Structure 1
């Protein structure tokens, strides 16, 4: 990051004017960054014509590479990358299209072949059985999907798929990706819908040099690729300058990286030597770059593409917004996999990552196979005489329970039959299961035993577990615990903890803003750790407007393009007159990045809603309404567009029209809690409390309802004299959100009014714990 003295002075003045006291934390980090910036500036001065040519290199195709790199091409051939996407023909289609049928909730789909074309007759976007030719295969094992062309350049992934496993493994059959849900044509998960659209959801990780090319004006795609599969240049970058380097002896010494944008040399001269005392290998020199891991992470991560044109060696956060650990649908509170997250977010939590391990330490880069079979890949670095013993794993040697992977890389099925392993390589923690409700491999296998039983065995064998686990802080942040602020602050400041966990804490801490936490977030704002900046910038809108610039102005100077854009958009509508011109310039540049990212993704309701919000915060209500409506037309089920449009009308003083939008939303969405809550608040504002309580109650009683909804419903009940019912609702909510500050505070207040002094005292004590 580039930092100037006046910027630090500006931050100091902002802190003082906001009533926050600056500590030395942020200054220390900023000083480190100044040195880093000077080094980076010196490095950038060495750019040359050759480097510029590499930046402008073009794709030449994998077949060109194969002419010289025969062994690498041979290893790659037949790999998952090679077979990621293929034209549908007799050689590539693995399913049985010999007049087979598949029944799904009363719909019978037929699969057959006519001449040289494969067909399916199934329910289309109108629900009627229609014949469709198969255009492409997608994937190869343990399932193969089929892509079908639609108007407007769209490809849609059929969600009846072929199980490519052997019959002995339970395969060689058709199955549906949502076997237990009736997905009809009007459902967002239907194969003709938005969430099965290849152009956005799948394409850029199954082909090389994928260009989405969406046009909002015509709602069409013109998607292209250089290679249909994941070929050489997907990982190495465009090869035209490498080809020129190879063909011109004069360029041998003057062309960086042999003409590629990056050289994967992180493992050169690296040796892993077993430490006889620990039985674990140690790297002879530290890993100093992220280039290999981040190249893999462009696809093997849960992320969204914000800026196209990523090339190997580019910083990950210049193009992709990666998911942190805050979403319970994706990660458990301790960081274990819950949803489909594609490795990166798990791996960067691991001790392996911290020790310097890269992807290709375990995986062959071209065949993608493990470097050794089964647990032998672990034995490269973990001495079998110490770890592959009954005294360590406490199971019969050679059994499933003795497997390194089964204990340290638990698997979970996605897409019904695709088993994927958690790459955080964690030690089983049944004690955290007992206190936080997260899963553990011990009782997942020994399902007749308790978490307490497993925790006791492990503590007797290995000693008491480390209680400094980030799970405690992240769980507290999710639950709204009284100690969340202290725990999250401590986690952020602890550099021995994984950066992604600390970044997740930075997304939560704005909800607990105080003088103390503000000082921690100031450090985050000036940190040179990319994920920390991402975490804070993604939560910046939740910081009160009068304090927000303290944290977002430094983020405008962050190295990561995604972070700068998020920081800038959070400042829209704030007065900027007092800032120097350079800050204003940085703000405009960041805002351009944010707008361009959402224009690029305008095929999605999320992006259209972001643009609508952008207009709304500037008071441009016509533009805001237009983009909210575009989002709703594209995805009638997308709640944020509907709720924000209602809010737009509310801000215009039109509660009736706001409720029209919300009632229409109830007809479209699966999970209605957000809509019911908004309707309840609308009736509260008009003092129609009977109707308000009806909708607030429906919101609070919905499965998985946020603590905030329960709190609001309880307070609303109390406000109309129904204190005892309010107490009952809040006490029930406390069972789902133990220690939640808002719920506890309301219970203290209500019980005090009811004369329940002892109960009020008990809840007050819980607040002070």
Structure 2
């Protein structure tokens, strides 16, 4: 791991800063646990008890373990698995095809419905999510990834980095979580104030609130600001409330270690993943497991000020009303005074949905919230609340709600049926057309993408995605147009506009991006630091140089916080090459393949650097290692065959 400290010379200072911050945190509000809230907030506490939040992460006990541990046997990745109890502990015994056996006590339990996972401690402090899960409805054990047959050492095996609980999952299943990964020892010393998503996971540390409440029992005492919480739900406003939920209900890249303090702006804690191939369909519909926020940002409901809690009760984590009743609290002839722009019409009627009342097709969610199943049994709905557009199939290739149910019919049939009822529906423009064309050929679609990015009437996540596509084939005129978006109100757009500036001349790039080093959003400041990597600080005025150092330090800290991710070392390796630091680049790519031996792009970079520094013999040795881990790789085979030609 030497490369990490070659690349990041401020690590020691950062560790000292972190220790100092932790010391100061003892003087700041601290966590007191959900049990401290129950006496005064009995109704909310009763709703929370037994909720998906409360049971997001628990210790194993007869009350929490739902799976069959009565000497049940099954298979996983070709290994025989026995699930049993022993001295009160829940045990997982794995006998591999070669006869070797591993036995683990269940460390803890993740989730409660519709599936439950079990966490195993494979070395002190390192928790891994076992790929054998319990289907709570079907009452069966099942393989989460039945199409894979993986061996230990594969990055995707349940013992690998992508199934690590500390780094990939825990922060959204705990309160006050700190990952505490030490890149020197490659060990975790993780901690949490409370297992499960407790009261303070959303409201913030409660010590000041409890102190005020205790003093107020005898003598009236004025409440502290926000009643002592870092997040005041009564005054925060809809956008802040959405961002509080989005911290976990989103596909994003964390910028820090563990839970940010509740009330922290999303763009100061995370970088949202855009509508990229493999994650979203070209029109922005859900594809991979992207959770909710990226979808909801696309919706007209979000644009009109609807928030999570208009539909979801936060303490029980349940819907506020069943079925269509949830929707008709607003979408009805009576309307809703909180959303005055909404037309007052009868929607829950065959004249609108064209299906028999009470049938699945008459459910609002069937047409406006398509469902996709993840983790084998977990159905999740798209929160972009879109109108079905089967007429766009020929351009976007994306699914539509009509043929989701009418699987024996074609999108053309569905488009024709909608046209009969809504003749003008196909004339409505949709950003999915431009994004689809941008995916196919970003250069040919560049003008349309820039037009979309500049359209402030479109969702920010869509505009930022358009800019990301432009970045793939950007030229100077594109950089000039994108420069106007560097001051956009949406941090997603500002960050994406920075990416396009790589196509500008160096002087223009520096002049345009420098002000963003002081952007109010950390995500944007980090993006600016990346864009200015390699610019000589010595040639900057001191005020700008200081801003550059601060933003660069934020970026470095975010990398250190993700030092247990193979993808982080790919970034460090690329950065090291930009800085012409070959030893750091070699160290980074080697760490990436140590964590994930199937990461072909890291092996390719190792081979190229070795060829440039040590010659053919050493390069062959690297590629032999690479092919041992990736025997079917055409890329690595061609590289190996080309040596010596």
| TM-score of the aligned structures, taking structure 1 as reference length | 0.74
**Residues 582, 641 of structure 1: alpha-carbon distance in 2 compared, 3 angstrom cutoff:** farther
Distance 1:482 1:452, change over 3 A: farther
Partner of 2:569: 608
Q: Is 1:183 paired with 2:150?
A: yes
Cα 1:217–1:251, aligned 2, differ >3 Å: closer, same or farther? Answer: farther
Q: Counterparts in 2 of 1:108-119, with a 5 A limit?
A: 108-119=80-91
Answer whether contact 1:472 1:487 (CA < 8 A) is retained: no
How far apart in 2 are the matches of 1:242 and 1:180?
50
Q: How many residues align?
A: 607
Deviation of 1:374 after TM superposition, in Å, equals 1.3
Q: Distance in 2 between matches of 1:676 and 1:252?
A: 74
Q: Deviations over 1:338-373 (max 9, x none)?
A: 000010000010011011001000000100110001
Residues 409/94 of structure 1: CA separation in 2 closer, same or farther (3 Å cut)? same
Asked whether the 8 Å contact 1:307–1:318 carries over to 2, the reply is no
Q: 1:633 to 1:149 in 2, by over 3 A?
A: same
Does residue 233 (structure 1) correspond to residue 233 (structure 2)? The answer is no
Q: Which moved more, 1:435-444 or 1:516-525?
A: 516-525
The offset of 1:675, in angstroms, is 4.8
- Are 1:193 and 2:160 counterparts? yes
1:139 deviates by 0.5
Query: What's 1:573 paired with?
Result: 534
Alpha-carbon distance between aligned partners in 2 of 1:55 and 1:411, rounded to the nearest angstrom: 46
Q: CA 1:69–1:127 in structure 2 vs 1: closer, same or farther (change >3 Å)?
A: farther
Corresponding residue SS for 2:488: coil
1:498 and 1:612 map into 2 onto residues whose CA distance is 34
TM-score (norm: length of structure 2): 0.88
- Give CA deviations for 1:222-281 in whole Å, capped at 9, x if unaligned: 1111111100000001111212222345895462111111211369xxxxxxxxxxxxxx
CA contact (8 A) 2:161 2:564 kept: no
Structure with bigger gyration radius: 1
Alignment of 1:311-326 (within 5 A): 311-325=261-275
Decide whether aligned partners of structure 1 residues 391 and 574 sit closer, same or farther in structure 2, where only a CA change above 3 A counts: same
Q: CA deviation at 1:102?
A: 0.9
Among candidates 167, 183, 206, match of residue 173 of structure 2: 206
- Measured at CA, do residues 54 and 430 of structure 1 come closer, stay the same or move farther in structure 2, by a change above 3 Å? farther
Q: Which moved more, 1:222-231 or 1:614-623?
A: 614-623
Is contact 2:115–2:378 with CA below 8 Å preserved after alignment? Answer: yes
> Structure 1 CA distance, aligned partners of 2:514 and 2:96?
50
Q: Is the 8 A contact 1:616 1:648 kept in 2?
A: no
Structure richer in helix, relative to its length: 1
Counterpart of 2:385 in structure 1 is 425
Higher deviation after alignment, 500-509 or 661-670 = 661-670
How far is 1:541 from its partner?
A: 5.7
The CA distance in 1 between the partners of 2:606 and 2:531, in whole Å, is 19
- Aligned residues of 2:153 and 2:597 also touching (Cα < 8 A): no
Shift in CA distance, 123/299, structure 1 to aligned 2, threshold 3 Å: farther
- Given candidates 501, 523, 542, the residue that maps to 2:462 is 501
Q: Larger relative contact order (C-alpha < 8 A, sep ≥ 6)? A: 2
Matches within 5 A, 1:19-30: none
1:148 aligned residue: 120
1:390 Cα deviation (Å)? 1.3
**One of 211, 222, 228 as aligned partner of 1:244:** 211
Conserved in 2, the CA contact under 8 Å of 1:94 and 1:144? yes
Is residue 242 of structure 2 the alignment partner of residue 293 of structure 1?
A: yes
Instruction: Trace 1:516-527 onto structure 2 (pairs within 5 A).
Output: 516-527=477-488
The change in CA–CA distance for 1:100 and 1:92 in structure 2 (over 3 A counts) is: same
Report whether the alignment pairs 1:310 with 2:260.
yes
1:258 matched to 2:227:
yes
Q: How far is the alpha carbon of 1:511 from its aligned partner?
A: 3.1
- The alpha carbon displacement at 1:571 in A equals 2.1
The gaps in structure 2 that reach 5 residues or longer are 1-23, 334-344
Structure 2 CA distance for aligned equivalents of residues 147 and 266 of structure 1: 38
* Aligned: 1:617 with 2:596: no
Q: What is the CA-CA distance between 1:104 and the residue it aligns to? A: 4.0
**Aligned equivalents of 1:324 and 1:670: distance in 2?**
33
TM-aligned CA distance change 1:561 to 1:186, over 3 Å:
same
Distance 2:631 2:481 in 1: 39
Structure 2: how far apart are the matches of 1:83 and 1:125?
35
Displacement of 1:678 after TM fit?
Answer: 7.0
* Deviation of the 1:468 alpha carbon: 2.7
Q: Distance in 2 between matches of 1:670 and 1:412?
A: 34
Determine which of 343, 356, 361 is the counterpart of 2:305: 356
What is aligned with 1:475? 436
Listed one character per residue, the Cα deviations across residues 361-418 of structure 1 (whole Å, up to 9, x for unaligned) are 0000100110001111111111177111112111111111111011111110000000
For residue 352 of structure 2, the aligned residue among 385, 392, 398 is 392
Instruction: Trace 1:431-510 onto structure 2 (pairs within 5 A).
Output: 431-462=391-422, 463-481=424-442, 483-510=444-471
Hey, what does 1:410 align to over in structure 2?
Answer: 370
Whether the 8 Å contact between 1:324 and 1:535 is mirrored in structure 2 is: no
Q: Distance in 2 between matches of 1:108 and 1:428?
A: 46
Question: 1:549 offset after TM fit, Å?
Answer: 2.4
**CA contact under 8 A between 2:370 and 2:382: conserved in structure 1?**
yes
Question: RMSD over aligned Cα, in angstroms?
Answer: 2.7
Following TM superposition, by how much is the alpha carbon of 1:621 offset from its aligned partner in structure 2, in angstroms?
1.6
Q: 1:466 to 1:205 in 2, by over 3 A?
A: farther
SS where residue 134 of structure 1 aligns? Answer: strand
